[in-house]
Amino acid sequence: MRVGVLTGGGDCPGLNAVIRGIVRKGVQEYGYDFVGFRDGWRGPLEGDTVRLDIPAVRGILPRGGTILGSSRTNPLKAENGIRRIKDNLAKLDVQALIAIGGEDTLGVAARLSDEYAVPCVGVPKTIDNDLSATDYTFGFDTAVNIATEAIDRLHTTAESHMRVLVVEVMGRHAGWIAIHSGLAGGANAILIPEQRFDVEQVCAWVTSRFRASYAPIVVVAEGAMPKDGDMVLKDGSLDSFGHVRLSGVGEWLAKEIERRTGKEARTTVLGHVQRGGTPSAFDRWLATRFGLHAIECVHDGDFGKMVSLRSTDIVRVPLAEATAKLKTVNPKLYEEVGVFFG
Ligand code: F6P
């Protein structure tokens, strides 16, 4: 059997570990061979492939990024997209496709599988951890560790200069990276997309922190919004799945804090640093297990499924269910961490 593999959407630490898990088990246990598709859905759409065998996956476990390349290509928007993918898979004699991606990449896999009989298996990836059908996505733990280390380092500058430091983290419309790294890094305020924030309240927390002779760190998720006002965006452009490019709220908030409190406030936007470099041990472990289970799914002919973490077990869930609903931070959890604000 020949199996195609692609990685789509934003890159994420652990992608290479999944690819390695798939190929090692597929070749060693099942005698399969593999075709790597380049740059997400662009690969099968254009028939652009890369060699994917045991030598190709040697040494990639700790490497960030993806050896297959990635893109946000949406084949459902391309002319004759479905037909072209089907023709290319037939031409290359690819009988199953493993798509490693987030909401968008897996959304395409779900439609190809359910509506067009393309045998797909999905693996959930995203630093945002916002897929509801899995407890964790790989990449998230690494992103949280990077953000936490950055917050730890920013504390020293904040204290030395007695300034407010605002840290903008990624996460799109979910506050998981913000709440985990903010709590782990001892932030004095954590602002998430799920709860609109009151700038006056943030300023009150900042002021109370200075009163205790400490300098405040404010962690703000890129998708967080002020109570009265719209989303603050530096660049309102859309990607090919129609998502607006986020970022800008951190800069805006620092200016507001400075204007309202008279204290110097600066912003650090962590941006793609959170997605870069070597995956954490947890992400290598999770990504590898996802890879092993994904190829087992193919071997069982169990298509239209996504592998998912439930507690410590890897289970299979329908791809359509996996992408149906975003997993967001619930108000109770946010309330729980609120004891540290101010
Ligand atoms: O989904 C992962 C993510 O890093 C989000 O947190 C962020 O909003 C988005 O991707 C950025 O995408 P890009 O790198 O395409 O600008």
User: How large is the average pLDDT for residues 278-292?
Assistant: 98
193 and 181 in a common domain: yes
Q: How far apart are the first and last CA of the chain?
A: 59
pLDDT (0 to 100) of residue 118 = 97
- Residues 203-223 have a mean pLDDT of 95
Q: What is the mean pLDDT of residues 299-320?
A: 97
d(CA 99, CA 288) in angstroms, rounded, equals 15
Is the pLDDT confidence value at 157 over 90? Answer: yes
User: Under the phi-then-psi rule, with left for phi > 0, alpha for psi from -120 to 50, and beta for the rest, what region is 51?
Assistant: beta
Residue 337 CB-half CA count within 13 A: 23
- Res 299 pLDDT > 90: yes
The amino acid occupying position 66 is T
Q: Indicate if 186 and 254 belong to the same structural domain.
A: yes
* pLDDT reported for residue 133: 94
Using alpha carbons only, what angle is made at residue 30 by residues 26 and 36, rounded to the nearest 5 degrees?
30
CB 139 within 8 A of CB 274: no
127 lines ligand 1 (CB under 6 A): yes
Residue 74 structure tokens:
């949406």
Per the model's pLDDT, the better-predicted residue between 149 and 230 turns out to be: 149
**pLDDT mean over 311-327:** 93
What is the biggest distance separating any 2 CA atoms in the chain, rounded to whole angstroms?
Answer: 69
Tell me: pLDDT of 36 over 90. Answer: yes
CATH number of the domain where residue 72 is located: 3.40.50.450
Give yes or no for residue 186 having a pLDDT over 90. Answer: yes
Query: Would you state the pLDDT for residue 213?
Result: 87
Tokens of 108: 């395409």
pLDDT at 7 over 90: yes
Probe target for ligand 1 pocket from 130, 222, 245, 269, with the most ligand atoms within 8 Å of CB: 245
170 lines ligand 1 (CB under 6 A): yes
Q: Are residues 222 and 302 in the same domain?
A: no
Q: What is the pLDDT of residue 150?
A: 98
Q: What residue's CA is closest to ligand 1, atom 12?
A: 10
**From the CA of 128, how far away is ligand 1's center (Å)?**
8
CA distance 119 to 267: 46
Region 180-188 average pLDDT: 98
The mean per-residue pLDDT over the stretch 158-165 comes to: 95
pLDDT attached to residue 116: 95
Lateral strand order in the sheet of 305-310: 49-52, 33-37, 2-7, 96-101, 120-124, 305-310, 313-318
How far does residue 166's CA lie from ligand 1's centre (Å)?
19
Predicted local distance difference test score (pLDDT) of residue 113: 96
Examine the domain organization and report whether 70 and 21 are in the same domain.
yes
Residue 264: its pLDDT value, please? 97
Cα separation, 327 vs 194, in Å, equals 11
DSSP alpha helices (H): ranges in the chain? 15-30, 42-46, 54-57, 81-91, 103-116, 140-161, 176-184, 199-211, 249-261, 281-299, 319-322, 331-337
**pLDDT at 324 exceeding the cut of 90:** no
Nearest partner of 281 among 135, 138, 136, 122, judged by Cα: 138
Q: How confident is the model at residue 241 (pLDDT cuts 50, 70, 90)?
A: confident
Least confident of 156-165, 167-176, 279-288, 319-328: 319-328
Q: Looking at the domain assignment, is residue 327 inside a domain? A: no
* Type of residue numbered 338: G
Same domain, 289 and 214: no
Which pLDDT belongs to residue 292? 98
Average pLDDT over residues 118-142: 96
| pLDDT of the residue at 236 | 81
What's the total number of domains in the chain? Answer: 2
CATH label of the domain that carries residue 186? 3.40.50.460
pLDDT tops 90 at residue 2: yes
Q: Please, which pLDDT band fits residue 242 given cuts at 50, 70 and 90?
A: confident
Q: Is residue 214 part of a domain?
A: yes
53 classed as catalytic: no
Residue 191's domain comprises: 142-275
Residues 182 and 253 grouped into a single domain: yes
- Region 6-34: what's the mean pLDDT? 98
pTM listed for this prediction:
0.96
Please give the structure tokens belonging to residue 176.
């998981």
Phi-psi region of 86 (alpha: psi -120 to 50; beta: other; left: phi over 0): alpha
Residue 80 burial (CB count, 10 A): 11
C-alpha 269/C-alpha 328 separation (Å) is 22
**What's the chain's average pLDDT?**
96
Matching residue, tokens 């799109």: 172
- Predicted confidence band of residue 210 (pLDDT cuts 50, 70, 90): very high
Q: Is 338 a member of any domain?
A: no
Please give the distance, rounded to the nearest whole angstrom, from the Cα atom of residue 243 to the centre of ligand 1.
10
Binding site membership of 128 for ligand 1 (Cβ less than 6 Å): yes
41-75 pLDDT tens trace: 999 999 999 999 999 999 999 999 999 999 999 99
245 close to ligand 1 (CB < 6 Angstrom): yes
Whole-Å CA distances, 105 to 23, 112, 125, 307: 20, 11, 10, 14
Domain identity same for 41 and 13: yes
Contact between residue 128 and residue 174 where contact means Cβ atoms under 8 Å apart = yes
